Chain A
Amino acid sequence: MSFYERDSGIIEAQGLPLTLLDLCLQRGLHGDRVLRGTRLFMDDLIQRNPRISQEQLLQLADNAERLLDSSDSAFLLGQRLLPGNLHGASQLLSQAPNLFSALESLVEFAPLLSPLLSPRLVVDENYGYLYWLDSCGTGKQWRFLLEASATAVAAFSRRHRGEHLPWQFHFRHSRPPYIEQYWVHLGETLHFDQPCDMLRVPRQWLFEGIKPAGISHQVALQQARQQLQTLPAPRPLLVAVYHHLEQQLKQPANHRTLQLESVAESLGMSPATFKRHLKKHGTHFQQQLDLARLHTAIYLLRSQGLGTEAVARQLGFHDSAGLRRSFKRWTGSTPSSVLAL
């Protein structure tokens, strides 16, 4: 299984980085100050369109957030993010026949369209759920990027459908002091102190077609696939790890093999190297495993309608009390609180 790391050059500088820089310039900041510490230069960025790493983009986002020094920066960035200005991938989003297809493309081409937070889409019989994985160890930047990503999806789907969508927003963090930004840029249905960060929309909004997929959609899909193939690997390390864990958790018998060693082996490296890679991305194996187990538990409880007993068994706990204890540790609340979502 191949992956790229946070210091591999994969992001087109004239994509998201330029959008962020442009926002800063528009607010009267000096380009060189915004680019400080990113090893990027104005002329270079404009003339050569280099590929930059997640690390560099994180530094850029950190500079921008600090220098803009305003509670609306993440939201203004979000308004400008999707569909973006990339060949292929961005057109693919605009040409999508319905919202489901657009969101699916967003997930498939995340390395191009959403390089720092990797979106995941789950659809059950009532709702479509969208949540994000930290694909590079964003650390304290998580909140800023989450607010921008949520705004991007809300704004994009509104433009795509030409009307306001009843998105419901769930956040792990508590109600922020700048709640007015959430009201204006996201919408009215906001829930804070939730087990995980995600948004959901009633299922029918995903599939109501706007226009049939035309030939240009096909062309854009081809172009986006070609773009994706120019990357050194199809996905970042943390997403590859998550993906593997998720697959294993779906098969009940496998939970016992979910050890660091076996995962390292399937990623084709030694346990020590694997540990070092995870550390470089600001995390460790147990944290990743817990995250995958939490998401799987929420999915099974909420979308599959399984009881805590069954979920506990599938995730490799002795009994439902064990699941409840761990759930409490991961989220601060009980598994049954998920059903109230």
Chain B
Amino acid sequence: MPSFLRLHTAKLLALLLVANSLLLLYLGAGEWKPTEQWSWADIAGEGGAAVLVFVWLCLILNSRPAGRITTLLSLGLGLMFVAWWVDALDEFIQLPEGINWDHWLESLPMASGLLLLTYGLFHWHHEQLAISGQLQKRERLLREHRYFDHLTPLSGADYLRQQIAQCQQAQQGATPVSLVALDLDGFDSINQRFGHREGDAVLQAVSQLILLNLRNQDLLCRLAGDRFVALLPGTGETQAGQLARDLADALRHFAYHTQQHGERLQLNATTAVVMAMNESPEDLLQRLQLALCRARQPLALQA
């Protein structure tokens, strides 16, 4: 995983600079309170808030690429940090009577920080809607990053199991639910001839190709290795069979070129279709596996 933090070193440095100058300003204008005047509850509360806001800022920066929304969020959190920082400095340094800019230093950054953060969050929501649109066919109503596949932009078998169960529950047998499995033929020989990195690239390309050929309500997962499974809600076996043939055709006509020398690879797949009966996701997947073995059989006999 790339870390985004190094994209934002300038922002963090600027914040540290501001915090440092405020410290110097306070030291210049006021003087240290003796230890017995320290209010430990206030120090813990205000100092702790400053530390937490800083942690949030780091987490946000580390998980986002640079951009407008990132800038808004970090400005907002940065100002909130400054406000609490000044608040905490108050506890250690006594400013002489007649100075009132310190109140401004506390409330102005806090108010503007909160406003900027709210504005940033609002835009983040819109960004998230756009990203969810791009994830269509790859997730259905539930997001759980622990189920993401490590290689392709799809989810894995566990997410599929969950979604099968959910889909069956939602449909209550009113409309049929079908599964299509697609297994690449001769994937191992691609790995052997061109290396495993090329094999990975093939899987990534194939997952995009299948996504393009699915309908909006369908869900595609990578079951394992070179085997993909699509969950088709509201689809009977005949229609699913047609979709499976379309997918196999699309793959046959897909002009894949290797990354190194641009060599054209001919891809083929074996497909299988099952319609969900009144059974557990595990049994359904087992039946799909059997159907796929049966579809493979003629291949074994040919060889």
Enumerate chain A interface residues (CB-CB to B < 8 A).
Answer: 23, 26-28, 68, 70-72, 75-76, 79-80, 155, 158-159, 162-164, 177-181, 183-185, 188
In-complex Cβ contact of B188 among A27, A159, A181 (8 A): A159
Contact B225 A188, beta carbon cutoff 8 Å? no
Query: Chain B residue with minimal CB distance to A70?
Result: B150
Closest CB-CB distance, A28 to chain B, in whole Å?
Answer: 7
Q: Which residues of A contact B1 (CB under 8 A)?
A: 28
The listed residue (B151, B158, B196, B300) touching A80 by CB distance below 8 A is B196
Given contacts A79-B191, A180-B224, whether A188 and B200 have CB atoms under 8 Å apart is no
Report the bound CA distance from A74 to B303 in whole Å.
28
**Chain A residues whose CB sits within 8 angstroms of the CB of B293 once the complex forms:** 188
Report chain A residues within 8 Å CB of B191. Answer: 79
Closest B residue, CB atoms, query A175: B282
Judged by a CB distance under 8 angstroms, whether B265 is at the interface is no
Q: Cβ of A188 and Cβ of B196 under 8 Å apart? A: no
Residue of B189, B225, B285 near A75 (CB, 8 A) is B225
Least CB distance from B265 to A in Å reads 18
Minimum C-beta distance from B284 to chain A (A)? 12
Flag if A183 contacts B150 (CB, 8 Å).
Answer: no
A159 to B187, CA, bound (A): 11
Closest 9 CB pairs of A and B: A163-B303, A184-B225, A184-B224, A180-B224, A188-B293, A180-B157, A181-B224, A180-B223, A183-B289
Q: Are B290 and A188 in contact, CB atoms less than 8 angstroms apart?
A: yes
Q: Is the CB of B224 within 8 A of A26?
A: no
**Out of B226, B290, B299, which one reaches A184, CB within 8 Å?**
B226
Output the nearest chain A residue to B183 by Cβ-Cβ distance.
A184
Number of A-B residue pairs, CB cutoff 8 Å, is: 57
> Taking the complex as formed, is B33 at the interface, i.e. its CB lies under 8 A from any CB of chain A?
no
In the complex, besides A162-B303, A180-B157, A185-B224, 10 extra interface pairs with C-beta distance below 8 angstroms are A23-B196, A26-B196, A71-B224, A76-B196, A79-B196, A155-B188, A159-B189, A163-B300, A183-B224, A184-B224
Q: Does B8 contact A (CB under 8 A)?
A: no
- For B197, B200, B224, the residue with the greatest tally of chain A CB atoms inside 10 Å of its CB is B224
What are the residues of chain A within 8 A of B158 when measuring CB–CB? Answer: 177
Find B227's partner among A28, A159, A184 (CB 8 Å cutoff).
A184
Q: Which of A27, A71, A155, A180 has the most CB of B within 10 A?
A: A180
Minimum CB–CB distance for A333 against chain B, Å: 24
Give the secondary structure class of A's interface.
Answer: helix
Tell me the nearest residue of chain B to A27, going by C-beta.
B150
Inter-chain CA distance A155–B225, complex, in Å, is 13
Within the complex, which residue of B183, B189, B192, B225 is in contact with A181, where a contact is CB–CB below 8 Å? B225
**Which of B157, B189, B223, B296 counts the most A-chain CB atoms under 10 A from its CB?**
B157
- Minimum C-beta distance from B119 to chain A (A): 35
> Are B227 and A180 in contact (CB-based, < 8 A)?
yes
- Tell me the complex Cα distance, A71–B227, Å: 15
Complex CA distance for A162 and B150, rounded to whole angstroms = 29
Within 8 A of A (CB), among B246-303: 285, 289-290, 293, 296, 299-300, 303
Distance of A161 from chain B, by nearest CB (Å)? 8
Interface string of B159-188 (1 = CB under 8 A from A): 000000000000000000000000100001
User: With A and B bound together, what is the CA distance between A309 and B53 in angstroms?
Assistant: 76
Minimal beta-carbon separation of A286 from chain B (angstroms): 39
B-side contacts of A70, CB under 8 Å = 150
> Min CB distance, B206 to chain A, in Å?
14
- Kindly list chain B residues whose C-beta atoms are within 8 Å of the C-beta of A163: 300, 303
Given contacts A79-B191, A159-B192, contact A184 B223 (CB under 8 A): yes
Residues of B within 8 A of A68 (CB): 150
User: CA of A23 to CA of B223 in the docked complex: distance in angstroms?
Assistant: 20
Whether B192 lies near A178 (C-beta < 8 A) is no
**Contact present for A164 and B289 (CB under 8 Å):** no
Q: A26-B196, A27-B150, A163-B300 are in contact. Are A72 and B224 (CB under 8 A)?
A: yes
In-complex Cβ contact of A180 among B285, B290, B296 (8 A): B285
Interface residues in B128-169 (C-beta closer than 8 Å to A): 150-151, 157-158
Q: Which residues of A contact B150 (CB under 8 A)?
A: 27, 68, 70
Best-surrounded residue of A72, A162, A178 (most CB of chain B within 10 A): A72
- Minimal beta-carbon separation of B287 from chain A (angstroms): 12
Set of chain B residues within 8 Å of A183, measured between Cβ atoms: 224, 227, 289
Query: If A79-B188, A158-B188 touch, does A164 touch B225 (CB 8 Å cutoff)?
Result: no
Query: Which residues on the B side are within 8 Å of A26 (C-beta)?
Result: 196-197, 200
Residue contact A164 to B300, C-beta cutoff 8 Å: yes
Q: Once bound together, how far apart are the Cα atoms of A181 and B158, in whole Å?
A: 12
**What are some 11 contacts across the A-B interface (CB < 8 A)?**
A26-B197, A27-B150, A75-B225, A159-B188, A163-B303, A164-B296, A177-B158, A178-B224, A180-B224, A184-B223, A188-B293
